[in-house]
C-alpha cells in the first residue's frame, strides 16, 4: 500500500501546485480563486479543522470554504458571493453515496453548469476524493481528477489521506508533509515509548481513571489558541463516534461506562461562559488545556496574558480556594460558601512550542492513539459506527411522506412521528423546497 499512498500524495501535490500557480484554470480560462470542499463527517471535520488551525500558513490568494450540511443554507451562504468561473469544488466522500454530500455536489454542478452554460465545465471545476471510483466517474468527474484512498482508511481518521486535499491546497504540499511527519513522529512515540512515558497511553489511562472510577460523564477540550477553535468539534467526532459503544467486540453489553461526552471551545472565551460549572458545579469534568509557548501573531502582552489564563485555570481547578482563604480575604461569612472553590478538579496541560503543521500533526495523532488506547482497554470496536446508520435509514423512509401530495394521507410510522409529519405537511411551502 505504501507506494500507492505516496503516488496519491504526489498527485495531490501536483494538483495543489497547479492551483496555486494558476496553471490549473477554470472553464473560461480564469484562474481558480475559490475552493470549496463538499463532504460531511470524516470527509469534512478534519480538513475544516486543520485548514483553520493552519490558516497562518495558508495561501491567502485562495479562499477555502466547506459545505457539509443538507440544509440548503449551507450551500447558499458558501456560494452567494462567488464567481462560478473562479470556483473549484472538491467532492470528498469515501463512499460517494452519502446523501448530504451527493445532494450538495449535484447542487454545485447545477450552479456551475447554469452559470458557465456548458456541461463540459464540470471537468475544470470539479475534482473528487473517494474510494468509489465508479460512482465518481458516473457523476461526471474525470478519473484523472480523482484522488483515491482505500477502504481501510476510516472517515474520522482520514485527514492524512487524500481527504486532506483541501488542506493541502490551502497550506501547500510541503506544509502538508510536515503535518504528516508530525503524525508519524507521534506514531513512533506511541509504538516505542515505555508506557510510563507514552503520551497517548497516559492520556488514555487518565481518561479511563476519571470515567470509570470517578463516574465523570464528560471531558472538556479547551484549546488556548484561536486557530484551534474547531479542535473540540473534530475531537468530538474522533472520540464519540469511535468509543460511544455499549457492546464489546464480541457483542456483549458492557457493564461500565465507555467513551465520555467530548465538548469545549477555545479559551479564554469559555472562561466567561461555562467554566463556572467546571470550578463550582456539582459535576466533575476533567479537561485538557492546550496551549503554545510562542504566538504566531505576537501582539503586545496578549500571549503572556493568554498563557497566564491557561495556567490559572489549571491552578484554580487543582487547588481551588478554601473557606479559610476566602474568610482571610475579608469575605462576608454569608458569602464564603459562594466564594470558595473545592479544587481537586483534574486537568491535563498540554503545552507545545509553536503551532506548526508538524505540531498539529503530533496533536492529532496523540488524540487518535488515545482513543485507540481507551477502546482497546474497554474491549470495544473503535472503528465502526453503526449508531449513525439507523437515523439515515429512517430519514430515507420519512422523506417520501413529507411532500404536499401526501397531505392528509394515512401514515405508517409511530403515532408521534405521524403527528409531526402531518404538522409539517400542513405548513410546508407548496412549491418545491
Ligand atoms: C466517520 C464516519 C462518517 C463519514 C461520513 C461521510 O468515521 O464514518 O462521519 O465520514 O458519513 O462519509 P463519506 O465519506 O462516505 O461521504
pLDDT score at 289: 98
pLDDT score at 392: 86
Q: Is 95 in the pocket of ligand 1 (CB under 6 A)?
A: yes
pLDDT score at 329: 95
Q: Is 47 in the pocket of ligand 1 (CB under 6 A)?
A: no
End-to-end alpha carbon distance in the chain: 45
Reduced to 3 states, what is the DSSP secondary structure of residue 393?
A: helix
Indicate which atom in ligand 1 lies nearest the CA of residue 40: 6
- Nearest CA owner, ligand 1 atom 2: 155
Indicate which atom in ligand 1 lies nearest the CA of residue 242: 7
Stretch among 267-271, 275-279, 314-318, 394-398 having the lowest mean pLDDT: 394-398
pLDDT-derived band at 433 (thresholds 50, 70, 90) equals low
User: Bridge-partner residues for 253, per DSSP?
Assistant: 247
- The residue to which cell 496574558 is assigned: 305
- Please write the tens of the pLDDT for every residue from 194-213: 999 999 999 999 999 999 99
Question: How close is the Cα of 70 to the center of ligand 1, in Å?
Answer: 14
Pocket test for ligand 1, best of 37, 38, 42, 165 (most atoms within 8 A of CB): 42
Stretch among 224-233, 403-412, 414-423 having the lowest mean pLDDT: 403-412
pLDDT score at 211: 97
pLDDT score at 409: 86
Percent of the chain beyond pLDDT 70?
A: 99
- Please write the tens of the pLDDT for every residue from 186-196: 999 999 999 99
Percent of the chain beyond pLDDT 90?
A: 94
Question: How close is the Cα of 186 to the center of ligand 1, in Å?
Answer: 24
Residue 430 has pLDDT above 90, yes or no: no
Question: How close is the Cα of 89 to the center of ligand 1, in Å?
Answer: 18
Residue 404 has pLDDT above 90, yes or no: no
What distance in Å separates the CA atoms of residue 72 and residue 83, rounded to the nearest whole number? 18
- Nearest CA owner, ligand 1 atom 11: 41
pLDDT score at 349: 98
Single pTM value for the model: 0.96
pLDDT score at 429: 80
pLDDT-derived band at 275 (thresholds 50, 70, 90) equals very high
Question: How close is the Cα of 92 to the center of ligand 1, in Å?
Answer: 10
pLDDT-derived band at 432 (thresholds 50, 70, 90) equals low
pLDDT, the chain, mean:
96
The mean pLDDT value for 151-159 works out to 96
- Of the CA atoms within 13 Å of residue 369, those in its CB half-sphere come to 23
Taking the CB of residue 318, how many other CB atoms lie within 10 A of it? Answer: 12
For residue 299, what is its C-alpha cell? Answer: 501582539
* Residues 199-235 as b or e (16 or more Cβ within 10 Å = b): bbbbbbbbbbebbeeeebebbbbbbbbbbbbbbbbbb
- Please write the tens of the pLDDT for every residue from 36-57: 999 999 999 999 999 999 999 9
Catalytic machinery residues:
241, 272, 392
What distance in Å separates the CA atoms of residue 183 and residue 185, rounded to the nearest whole number? 5
- Please write the tens of the pLDDT for every residue from 17-36: 999 999 999 999 999 999 99
* Residues 347-362 as b or e (16 or more Cβ within 10 Å = b): bbebebeebbbbbbbb
CA angle 10, 35, 53 (to 5 degrees): 80
- The C-alpha R_g of the chain, in whole angstroms, comes to 24
Residue 431 has pLDDT above 80, yes or no: no
Amino acid at each position: 500500500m505504501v507506494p500507492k499512498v505516496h503516488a496519491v500524495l504526489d498527485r495531490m501535490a501536483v494538483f495543489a501546485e497547479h492551483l496555486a500557480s494558476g496553471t490549473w484554470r477554470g472553464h473560461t480560462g480564469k484562474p481558480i480563486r475559490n475552493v470549496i470542499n463538499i463532504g460531511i463527517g470524516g470527509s469534512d471535520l478534519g480538513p475544516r479543522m486543520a485548514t483553520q488551525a493552519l490558516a497562518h500558513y495558508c495561501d491567502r490568494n485562495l479562499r477555502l470554504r466547506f459545505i457539509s450540511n443538507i440544509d440548503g443554507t449551507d450551500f447558499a451562504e458558501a456560494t452567494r458571493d462567488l464567481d462560478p468561473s473562479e470556483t473549484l469544488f472538491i467532492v470528498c466522500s469515501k463512499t460517494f453515496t452519502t446523501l448530504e454530500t451527493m445532494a450538495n455536489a449535484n447542487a454545485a454542478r447545477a450552479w456551475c453548469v447554469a452559470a458557465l452554460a456548458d456541461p463540459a465545465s464540470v471537468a475544470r471545476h470539479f475534482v473528487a476524493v473517494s474510494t468509489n471510483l465508479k460512482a465518481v466517474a458516473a457523476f461526471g468527474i474525470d478519473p484523472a481528477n480523482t484522488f483515491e484512498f482505500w477502504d481501510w482508511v476510516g472517515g474520522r481518521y482520514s485527514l492524512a489521506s487524500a481527504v486532506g486535499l483541501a488542506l493541502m491546497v490551502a497550506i501547500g504540499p510541503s506544509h502538508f508533509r510536515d503535518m504528516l511527519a508530525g503524525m508519524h513522529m507521534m506514531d513512533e512515540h506511541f509504538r516505542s515509548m515505555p508506557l510510563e512515558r507514552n503520551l497517548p497511553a497516559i492520556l488514555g489511562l487518565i481518561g479511563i481513571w476519571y470515567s470509570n472510577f470517578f463516574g465523570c460523564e464528560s471531558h472538556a477540550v479547551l484549546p488556548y489558541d484561536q486557530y484551534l477553535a474547531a479542535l473540540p468539534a473534530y475531537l468530538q467526532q474522533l472520540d464519540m463516534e469511535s468509543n460511544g459503544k455499549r457492546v464489546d467486540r464480541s457483542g456483549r453489553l458492557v457493564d461500565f461506562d465507555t467513551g465520555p461526552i467530548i465538548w469545549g471551545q477555545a479559551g479564554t472565551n469559555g472562561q466567561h461562559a461555562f467554566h463556572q460549572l467546571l470550578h463550582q458545579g456539582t459535576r466533575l469534568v476533567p479537561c485538557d488545556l492546550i496551549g503554545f509557548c510562542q504566538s504566531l501573531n505576537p501582539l503586545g502582552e496578549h500571549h503572556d496574558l493568554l498563557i497566564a489564563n491557561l495556567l490559572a485555570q489549571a491552578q484554580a481547578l487543582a487547588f481551588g480556594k478554601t473557606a479559610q482563604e476566602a474568610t482571610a480575604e475579608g469575605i462576608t461569612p454569608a458569602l464564603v460558601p459562594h466564594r470558595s472553590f473545592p479544587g481537586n478538579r483534574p486537568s491535563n496541560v498540554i503545552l507545545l512550542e509553536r503551532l506548526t503543521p508538524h505540531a498539529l500533526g503530533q496533536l492529532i495523532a496523540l488524540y487518535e492513539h488515545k482513543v485507540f488506547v481507551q477502546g482497546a482497554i474497554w474491549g470495544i470496536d473503535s472503528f465502526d459506527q453503526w449508531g449513525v446508520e439507523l437515523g439515515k435509514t429512517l430519514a430515507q423512509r420519512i422523506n417520501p411522506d413529507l411532500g404536499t401530495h401526501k397531505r392528509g394521507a394515512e401514515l405508517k410510522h409511530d403515532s408521534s412521528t405521524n403527528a409531526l409529519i402531518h404538522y409539517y405537511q400542513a405548513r410546508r411551502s407548496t412549491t418545491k423546497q
